[in-house]
Amino acid sequence: MAKNYVISLDEGTTSCRAVLYDKNSAPIDSKQREFTQIYPHPGWVEHNAEEIFKCQLTVLQNLLIENDIRHEEIAAIGITNQRETVVIWDKKTGKPVYNAVVWQCRRTADYCESLMKDGWTEKIRAKTGLLIDAYFSGTKIKWILDNVKGVRERAEKGELLAGTIDTWLIWKLSGGKAHVTDYTNACRTMLFNIYDLCWDKELLDLLGIPECILPEVKDSSSIYCNTDPAICGFSVPIASAIGDQQAALFGQGCFNKGDAKNTYGTGCFMLMNTGDKPVASKNLLTTIALGLNGKVEYALEGSVFIGGAVIKWLRDELELISSAPEIDRLAESVPDSNGAYLVPAFVGLGTPYWDMYARGTIVGLTRGVKKAHICRAALEGIAYEVRDVLDTMVKDSGTRINTLNVDGGACVSDIMMQFQADILDTKVCRPKNVETTALGAAYLAGLATGFWKDKDELLKHLKTDKIFKAKMKDSRRKELYEGWKKAVERAKAWEE
């Protein structure tokens, strides 16, 4: 039977999706299911790893059943995932020893501070390309080993396995036959040497993490294993794994040095392809963009911890809106935010501030500020955060970004994309398919199995939806951005 499709499993921070693509890389259908967000203490975020797997398996199976697709028609499955989130589980039973500790979780902030005080900042940056921050996986693994009774002893005996969510899903889908990850996920752990391309023994010793619990690291496009029929009901190659932001970079066709994209998801993440050479930066992360055909490519990355999640906050916690599209309608009903700024630093500030103790704030309030102004301030706050990142990226890379490629669910907002172009004074290009994270994983799985021939074939499939150009006067842009910087100062170092 002809191989007509590739499936992408897109495991995000709040939901699991399965997307079906045809030979022209058109999304035929997708299934999605949200899962539980767990907040045990202020600043702590957890997920139930078993629930994530069940959600992901369910949407995969439903996708095939509802589209009447036989597994013989599937060339491959690709996986893309929320990065830095970690799970530790029993290698025999497959049962997690604790909830997954999510990338947003700040529980290890104090330990990270102690590492900085002990002088580890430059050494860790030199090895991993990362800043010391609770964002990354290594200190989360250490926390589970140190705080869950008996876990460290079992880990040192080789009874447990650890990994990011891609590793967990591959292990579960394969029936425990494959314990692997790819370069893009490994490089986000603060344990992986991005120059030597191996787990760094000095950092493992520093954090007290036994190497035996960590997965084998492979290319992002590679046939890792097949799904286990006893688990999934069928056997299909799992042929890619890639962190969500690197997947979006690839899915946008940013194959050349200097190409950049920004994803508007739960957070916002800007990546610039720097080719086969890593570029050092004091404010950005130097990261691996891709492992393909036995070679790695690098990227610079800026991270905004809370992006589209602020829209969910307005909907679910404040109940100011009943649906995400309503925020656009309200924001468009007013000409500006009436002097209000919303800094969504709910779990600290990322690039370029790297302040683990910042917290969200709304400033500039007067009696004239109403719901519509708050909604507009929320959208503008996301765009300001992105400008913080882009300005840093241009400065540190020495490369001017003339066009910012955008993707992710929140970029469908025309009003936010227009404000983004205005505040950046840069063209913003939105593709027809804004879900490029899932597309990138599909592309890599298709390349690994010969479903698609090469990158040139992939580029022919990419189409633009809309290009936004700056319309704002320079004086107004300067005035607004100076107000944003003042607002950020009010949010910084809120927690002691």
Token pair of 396 as six digits: 């540190």
Among 249, 292, 242, residue whose Cα is nearest residue 462: 249
**Quick one: pLDDT at residue 455?**
92
Mean pLDDT of 34-62: 95
Q: What is the dihedral of CA 406, 407, 410, 411, to 10 degrees?
A: 40
Question: Which residues make beta-bridge pairs with 74?
Answer: 5
End-to-end CA distance of the chain: 62
Longest dimension (CA), the chain: 67
Cα–Cα separations (whole angstroms), residue 342 to 229, 230, 373, 387, 491: 49, 49, 10, 15, 10
Tell me the pLDDT tens digit for each residue of 155-205: 999 999 999 999 999 999 999 999 999 999 999 999 999 999 999 999 999
- DSSP per residue over 339-359, as a string? T-EEE--BTBB-TTT-BTT--
Binned at pLDDT 50, 70 and 90, residue 224 comes out as very high
428: pLDDT strictly greater than 80: yes
Token pair of 338 as six digits: 């009436």
Contact 246, 82 (CB under 8 A): no
Contact 3, 74 (CB under 8 A): yes
Among 79, 183, 165, residue whose Cα is nearest residue 129: 183
Q: Which residue has the tokens 């979006």?
A: 248
Q: What is the mean pLDDT of the chain?
A: 94
Cis peptide bond N-terminal to 352, omega within 30: yes
Mean pLDDT of 235-245: 95
- Higher per-residue pLDDT: 280 or 336: 336
Region of poorest pLDDT, from 6-15, 148-157, 211-220, 402-411: 402-411
Mean pLDDT of 281-299: 91
**Quick one: pLDDT at residue 141?**
97
Percent of all residues in the chain with a pLDDT value above 70, rounded to a whole number: 100
Q: Is the dihedral of CA 104, 196, 168, 458 positive or negative?
A: positive
**Quick one: pLDDT at residue 2?**
79
Mean pLDDT of 281-305: 91
Binned at pLDDT 50, 70 and 90, residue 354 comes out as confident
Mean pLDDT of 117-134: 93
Q: What is the DSSP letter of 409?
A: G
Tell me the pLDDT tens digit for each residue of 242-267: 999 999 999 999 998 888 899 898 88
Mean pLDDT of 380-392: 95
Mean pLDDT of 440-454: 95
Mean pLDDT of 420-443: 93
Binned at pLDDT 50, 70 and 90, residue 280 comes out as confident
Contact 85, 163 (CB under 8 A): no
Distance CA 397, CA 260 (A): 12
Mean pLDDT of 21-25: 93
Contact 79, 240 (CB under 8 A): yes
- CB count in 10 Å sphere of residue 385: 29
Contact 409, 437 (CB under 8 A): no
496: pLDDT strictly greater than 80: no
Question: Which residues make beta-bridge pairs with 297?
Answer: 290
Q: What is the DSSP letter of 3?
A: -
Contact 276, 195 (CB under 8 A): no
Q: How many residues does the chain have?
A: 496
